[in-house]
Amino acid sequence: MKITQSHIENSNADLKKNHMESFDFLSNQLSDKGVDVNLVVEKIKALQIAIPSWALGAGGTRFGRFSGAGEPADLIQKIQDIGIIHALNKSSNAVSLHIPWDIPQDYEAIRQIAKDLNINFDAVNSNTFQDQAGQKVSYKYGSLANSDKAVRELAVEHNKEVIKIGEKLGSKALTVWLADGSSFPGQHSIRKALANTHDSLSSIYEYLPSDWKILVEYKPYEPNFYSTVIQDWGTSFLLANKLGPKAYTLVDLGHHLPNTNIEQIVATLMTEEKLGGFHFNDSKYGDDDLTVGSIKPYQLFLIFHELAQGFAETNNPSLSWMIDASHNVKDPLEDLLQSVEAIKLAYAQALIINQKALEEAQQNHDTAKAQEILQDAYRTDVRALVSEASRQLGGAISPIKAYRKVGVRNELIKERGTDSKASGL
């Protein structure tokens, strides 16, 4: 199944008149406010969000997994699915692989299919939170942090293997998320676990190619419920600083305790030029991995406000952007299209903030005005800007409507059958 130009044209034909009217109306309104609409559209066009290889099938929960149909059976089919998303929205030109779930069998074929679909290889993810078949020592009590040197060495070796795989595909970053921690007080030495983690990460860092980054992801709890070694941005930032200039912090939106001010974390990390990557999702309670923008769209907007300002005013390097969501009740491809759309909407809202007026209000301590300025941008319906960016790139005015009109899932079921095979978290 491949999305063709005529699929896109058919879908856009239904929507174009309405869309152009909305776009013209919005353009006039924004221009009157001093917004450079063309520049905003260009910036939205440039935003590309990687799709994780594990999000293309139903993820399930620990209580069960209700499989979808027509799910990808292997890496080639996963990349084909991302090709479908990218052809529709023109904003998902990369895949983020998880090793060993996605070890390529035939590198040449993988590279070729990705090239044909204009898909790049974003950060590669290592996995030391599960034991693999035949593994000599176990990660049950931790991996890079383990008190047993043999386990740490195995985990370090695995990360080096992941880098080697990434190099063959053209990736430029390794993302490390560790499950390491303890579930009960006294289970391990908190200080030694952190020191071991630093030591292990240093060995991986030394192995990292000169043009690569290592992205250190943090998470407060789960699967360990008393302490997690890399529990928060401070610990990740500390490790990234100790490791050196190729190490950065990765922010996963779901990896914060309730009410954490994530936008403030983003602002601080960017000021320190240490924000390396983003995992987008949404949550109501914990690491819920819900569709981006489905629960807290205002928070997402405020995060993009900090990101947009950070890009303009700091020397923070470009980021690895990725969705990190899981789907239990929706078609994963529809869910991913919705997530990418939500990111683009939040970005567009951030881009139309009247920064000059905001700065003035801040300078004058006019708090009410500052809030008005932010909320004026947030409450603007910017969907036409996002649609226009996609249309100008040859994508769909409404990626999800096009997906349904083409009947993509049915086509995939015809090709792949109803058996679900995709691996996911």
Task: Name the residues that contact ligand PSV, by CB under 6 A.
Answer: 125, 177, 217, 219, 252, 279, 287, 324, 425
**Residue 254 CB, nearest distance to ligand PSV (Å)?**
7
Strand pairing of 213-217 and 227-228?
A: unpaired
What amino acid occupies position 79?
Answer: I
Q: Tell me if the bond preceding 245 is cis, omega within 30° of 0.
A: no
Q: State how far the Cα of 344 lies from the Cα of 293, in Å rounded to an integer.
A: 10
Residue 365 Cα distances to 309, 350, 356, 357, angstroms: 19, 21, 14, 12
Q: State how far the Cα of 366 lies from the Cα of 369, in Å rounded to an integer.
A: 5
Cα torsion 398, 399, 405, 411 to 10°: value is: 180
**Residue 97 CB, nearest distance to ligand PSV (Å)?**
11
For residue 124, what is the enclosing H or E element? strand 124-125
Q: State how far the Cα of 338 lies from the Cα of 333, in Å rounded to an integer.
A: 9
**Residue 217 CB, nearest distance to ligand PSV (Å)?**
5
Spatial contact of 387 and 41, defined as CB atoms under 8 Å apart: no
Q: State how far the Cα of 72 lies from the Cα of 422, in Å rounded to an integer.
A: 5
- How many CA atoms, within 13 angstroms, populate the side-chain half-sphere of residue 319? 31
Among Mn ion, ligand PSV, none, the one that 425 touches (CB under a kind-dependent 5 to 8 A) is: ligand PSV
**Residue 254 CB, nearest distance to Mn ion (Å)?**
5
For residues 80 and 125, which CB has a smaller minimum distance to ligand PSV in the complex? 125
Q: State how far the Cα of 173 lies from the Cα of 251, in Å rounded to an integer.
A: 15
Spatial contact of 405 and 10, defined as CB atoms under 8 Å apart: yes
Backbone angles phi, psi at 95, to 5 degrees: -120, 145
- How many CA atoms, within 13 angstroms, populate the side-chain half-sphere of residue 147? 9
Q: Interface with Mn ion by CB under 5 A: which range of 17-25, 116-124, 226-234, 283-291?
A: 283-291
Q: Give the residue closest to ligand PSV by C-beta.
A: 177
For residue 55, what is the enclosing H or E element? none
The tokens describing 400, both together, are 């999800």
**Residue 50 CB, nearest distance to Mn ion (Å)?**
12
For residues 320 and 380, which CB has a smaller minimum distance to Mn ion in the complex? 320
For residues 324 and 334, which CB has a smaller minimum distance to ligand PSV in the complex? 324
Helix, strand, coil percentages, rounded to 5, for the chain = 50, 10, 40
Q: State yes or no: residue 324 binds Mn ion (CB under 5 A).
A: yes
For residues 177 and 301, which CB has a smaller minimum distance to ligand PSV in the complex? 177
**Residue 219 CB, nearest distance to ligand PSV (Å)?**
6
Among ligand PSV, Mn ion, none, the one that 125 touches (CB under a kind-dependent 5 to 8 A) is: ligand PSV
Question: Pick from 282, 287, 331, 335: which binds Mn ion (CB under 5 A)?
Answer: 287
Q: Interface with Mn ion by CB under 5 A: which range of 72-80, 246-254, 338-346, 368-376?
A: 246-254
For residues 16 and 172, which CB has a smaller minimum distance to ligand PSV in the complex? 172
Q: State how far the Cα of 242 lies from the Cα of 68, in Å rounded to an integer.
A: 44
Total number of residues binding Mn ion (CB under 5 A)?
Answer: 4
- Give the Cα-Cα-Cα angle 109, 115, 118 (nearest 5 degrees): 145
For residues 323 and 352, which CB has a smaller minimum distance to ligand PSV in the complex? 323
Spatial contact of 390 and 398, defined as CB atoms under 8 Å apart: no
For residues 213 and 279, which CB has a smaller minimum distance to ligand PSV in the complex? 279
Q: State yes or no: residue 252 binds Mn ion (CB under 5 A).
A: yes
**Residue 252 CB, nearest distance to ligand PSV (Å)?**
5
**Residue 102 CB, nearest distance to Mn ion (Å)?**
16
For residues 252 and 341, which CB has a smaller minimum distance to Mn ion in the complex? 252
Q: Interface with Mn ion by CB under 5 A: which range of 98-106, 180-188, 220-228, 321-329?
A: 321-329
**Residue 402 CB, nearest distance to ligand PSV (Å)?**
29
Picking from 328, 400, 329, the residue whose alpha carbon sits closest to that of residue 15 is 400
Q: State yes or no: residue 279 binds Mn ion (CB under 5 A).
A: yes
Among Mn ion, ligand PSV, none, the one that 213 touches (CB under a kind-dependent 5 to 8 A) is: none
Q: State yes or no: residue 78 binds Mn ion (CB under 5 A).
A: no
For residues 252 and 388, which CB has a smaller minimum distance to Mn ion in the complex? 252
**Residue 294 CB, nearest distance to Mn ion (Å)?**
16
Residues that bind Mn ion (CB under 5 A): 252, 279, 287, 324
